[in-house]
């Protein structure tokens, strides 16, 4: 590569035997980058370059930014405005936030002729292959295959198993074809974990570390429904973006200029990869909704505080459509959530929404997150209490007052957990316990009332007619408004 040949004159990288070439994992990339940073801070610039150059040549944005800075200041390399601008622009294109600022600053200093040369070099640049042996990154003379595992949830249909096996390699090839630097980020993935998902579910995200299996911490959880698109490009983009987020968050002094993620009040808000989705409007209305949160008491804010991620998942023109599209407002996903990683999806298009609708959704689904948290805790409390009761039984205290109290506590906790995870039993099987939806609806009513909304806003709720307490709240609210209006007329 054009830029790479510059380094080859000064550094000789160990040749790689293709028979033993190994795919680099995230830990290799992070450790080499950190080691280079340590050498740089100690002013051992040659050693820093030995660590950073292979990563930069592979397309790692933060390493490219470091090389750009060294060319710009003449640290360990001969000062070169043109080469500094090249590596800064590559870093910017890879998503490095600081690289974007550096690229802008360096471009201004170039002459028209240098800018023309830069344009040609950027067009010709391609990422190089790297391999890792004993934790050390080196260039590879041969292509190195990505190494990852694939698991499928036990409920996945045989047809979906076939889809995953056939189409996942194609999706990854598309990602690499679209961006030659993709492989250095995709190598961070240890495992793809598929679940069936609803037909229009397009979730792609990292499995919470508390659910990771063994030493594999970088597991991507994703719906098989992602394959149900007219073209594979968007699924490939979603996987690459997810991988980049994980890589950047592990690298010190590095921030990813994420095109589809914002942070409001500590919540990660994810837009959609589909080009026909109005992400700009979504982020704007979401920000407005969060400003309304400050008007709520802490008793209601807790239902928003517990949510960690919000994903925008409206229907796209790129979907292969069949059956009825679930266009309901929002939903909490307990099967994907865990402590510190609780998420909700918003399905309704922002065009048909408002800040108040989003606020209602936060409160309603946040109530379910709190319920999920309680059910999880209750389930493990039941196991703890059972152990205590077993011990008391062996000690001859099984019929004591304390034991009876513990039995009552255990029964209540067991009931709550069972109703949350298994629903309630009916003549035809089991259905969701409406009590959980009623609690969420009651919290919704309080919220709309406190921010000055109209009772008519709640007409769209499908749960009002099923929840007596919510109906009572609505009647009381309307009576208060009528009384207030009478006083004003007087």
DSSP per-residue codes, 239-295: HHHHHHHHHHHHSTT--B--TTEEEETTEEEE--S-TTS-HHHHHHHHHHHHHHHTT
User: Are 431 and 479 in the same domain?
Assistant: yes
Report DSSP state, residue 144.
-
Question: Does 366 fall in a domain?
Answer: no
**Count of other CB atoms within 10 angstroms of residue 329:** 17
User: Are 272 and 183 in the same domain?
Assistant: no
Global pTM value:
0.90
Question: Does 371 fall in a domain?
Answer: no
Of 195, 226, 200, 202, the C-alpha closest to 325 is 200
Angle at 279 between CA 275 and CA 285, to 5 degrees: 160
Range of the domain at 477: 376-489
User: Are 6 and 133 in the same domain?
Assistant: yes
Question: Does 369 fall in a domain?
Answer: no
DSSP per-residue codes, 389-412: HHHHHHTT-TTSHHHHHHHHHHHH
- Angle at which helix 401-422 crosses helix 434-450, to 10 degrees, equals 80
Write down the pLDDT at residue 20.
53
Total number of domains constituting the chain: 4
User: Are 112 and 15 in the same domain?
Assistant: yes
Last residue of some domain: 121, 139, 157? 139
> Are the C-beta atoms of 289 and 447 separated by less than 8 Å?
no
Write down the pLDDT at residue 259.
96
Last residue of some domain: 336, 361, 386? 361
**Mind listing the pLDDT tens digit for each residue in 250-286?**
999 999 999 999 999 999 999 999 999 999 999 999 9
User: Are 35 and 80 in the same domain?
Assistant: yes
Q: Is the pLDDT of residue 22 over 70?
A: yes
pLDDT level of residue 14 (50, 70, 90 thresholds): very low
Question: Does 389 fall in a domain?
Answer: yes
Last residue of some domain: 250, 272, 295? 250
Q: Is the pLDDT of residue 427 over 80?
A: no
Question: Does 48 fall in a domain?
Answer: yes
Q: Mean pLDDT across the stretch 188-217?
A: 88
Up-side HSE of residue 82: CA atoms within 13 Å toward CB? 15
Of 291, 293, 269, the C-alpha closest to 280 is 269
Q: In CATH, what number is assigned to the domain containing residue 88?
A: 1.25.40.10
Write down the pLDDT at residue 8.
31
Angle at 213 between CA 208 and CA 215, to 5 degrees: 105
User: Are 321 and 265 in the same domain?
Assistant: yes
Alpha carbon separation from 179 to 4, 141, 256, 401, 425 (Å, rounded): 18, 19, 16, 68, 52
Q: Mean pLDDT across the stretch 33-44?
A: 98
Write down the pLDDT at residue 5.
36
User: Are 319 and 393 in the same domain?
Assistant: no
Across-strand partners of 222? 194, 204
User: Are 61 and 111 in the same domain?
Assistant: yes
DSSP per-residue codes, 17-66: -TTT-----HHHHHHHHHHHHHHHHTT-HHHHHHHHHHHHHHT-HHHHHH
Strand, coil or helix: what is 3?
A: helix
User: Are 280 and 346 in the same domain?
Assistant: yes
Q: What is the rounded average pLDDT for all residues in the chain?
A: 92
Alpha carbon separation from 420 to 155, 211, 368, 431, 447 (Å, rounded): 20, 20, 10, 10, 24
b/e map of 372-386 (b: 16 or more CB within 10 Å)? Answer: bbebbebbebbeebe
Question: Does 319 fall in a domain?
Answer: yes
User: Are 134 and 153 in the same domain?
Assistant: no
Query: For residues 20 and 317, what is the distance between their CA atoms, to the nearest angstrom?
Result: 45
Question: Does 153 fall in a domain?
Answer: yes
Question: Does 291 fall in a domain?
Answer: yes
User: Are 199 and 267 in the same domain?
Assistant: no
User: Are 126 and 241 in the same domain?
Assistant: no
Write down the pLDDT at residue 488.
80
Judging by beta carbons within 10 Å of its beta carbon (0-12, 13-18, 19+), is residue 226 exposed, middle or buried? Answer: buried
């Amino acid at each position: 590569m054009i830029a790479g040949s510059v380094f080859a004159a000064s550094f000789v990288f160990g040749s790689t035997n293709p028979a033993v070439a190994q795919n680099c994992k995230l830990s290799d990339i992070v450790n080499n980058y950190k080691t280079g940073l340590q050498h740089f801070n100690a002013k051992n610039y040659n050693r820093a370059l030995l660590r950073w150059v292979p990563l930069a040549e592979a397309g790692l944005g933060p390493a490219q930014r470091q090389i750009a800075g060294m060319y710009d200041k003449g640290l360990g390399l001969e000062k070169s405005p043109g080469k500094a601008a090249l590596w800064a622009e590559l870093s910017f294109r890879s998503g490095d936030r600081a690289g974007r600022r550096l690229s802008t600053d360096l471009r201004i200093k170039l002459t028209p002729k240098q800018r023309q040369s830069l344009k040609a070099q950027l067009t010709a640049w391609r990422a190089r292959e790297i391999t890792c042996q004993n934790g050390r990154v080196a260039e590879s003379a041969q292509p190195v295959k990505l190494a990852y595992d694939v698991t499928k949830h036990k409920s996945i249909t045989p047809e979906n198993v076939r889809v995953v096996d056939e189409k996942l390699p194609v999706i990854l090839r598309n990602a690499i074809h679209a961006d030659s630097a993709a492989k250095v980020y995709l190598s961070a993935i240890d495992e793809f974990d598929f679940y069936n998902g609803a037909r229009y579910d397009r979730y792609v995200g990292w499995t919470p570390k508390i659910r990771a299996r063994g030493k594999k911490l970088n597991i991507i959880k994703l719906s098989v429904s992602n394959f149900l698109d007219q073209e594979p490009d968007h699924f490939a983009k979603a996987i690459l973006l997810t991988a980049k987020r994980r890589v950047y968050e592990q690298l010190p002094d590095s921030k990813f200029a994420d095109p589809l993620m914002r942070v409001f009040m500590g919540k990660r808000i994810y837009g959609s990869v589909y080009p026909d989705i109005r992400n700009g409007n979504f982020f704007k209305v979401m920000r407005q909704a969060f400003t309304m949160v400050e008007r709520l008491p802490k008793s209601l804010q807790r239902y928003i505080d517990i949510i960690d991620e919000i994903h925008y998942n409206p229907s796209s023109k790129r979907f292969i459509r069949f059956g009825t599209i679930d266009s309901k407002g929002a939903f909490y996903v307990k099967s994907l959530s865990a402590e510190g990683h609780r998420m909700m999806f918003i399905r309704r298009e922002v065009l048909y929404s408002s800040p108040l609708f989003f606020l209602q959704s936060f409160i309603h689904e946040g109530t379910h997150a709190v319920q999920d948290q309680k059910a999880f805790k209750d389930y493990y409390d039941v196991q703890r209490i059972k152990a205590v009761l077993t011990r008391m039984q062996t000690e001859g205290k099984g019929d004591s007052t304390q034991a009876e109290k513990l039995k009552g506590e255990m029964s209540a906790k067991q009931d709550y957990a069972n109703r949350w995870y298994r629903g309630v039993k009916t003549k035809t099987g089991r259905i969701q316990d409406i009590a959980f939806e009623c609690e969420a609806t009651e919290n919704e009513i309080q919220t709309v009332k406190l921010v000055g909304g109209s009772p008519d806003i709640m007409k769209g709720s499908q749960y009002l007619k099923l929840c007596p307490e919510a109906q009572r709240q609505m009647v009381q609210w309307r009576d208060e408004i009528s009384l207030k209006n009478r006083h004003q007329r007087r």
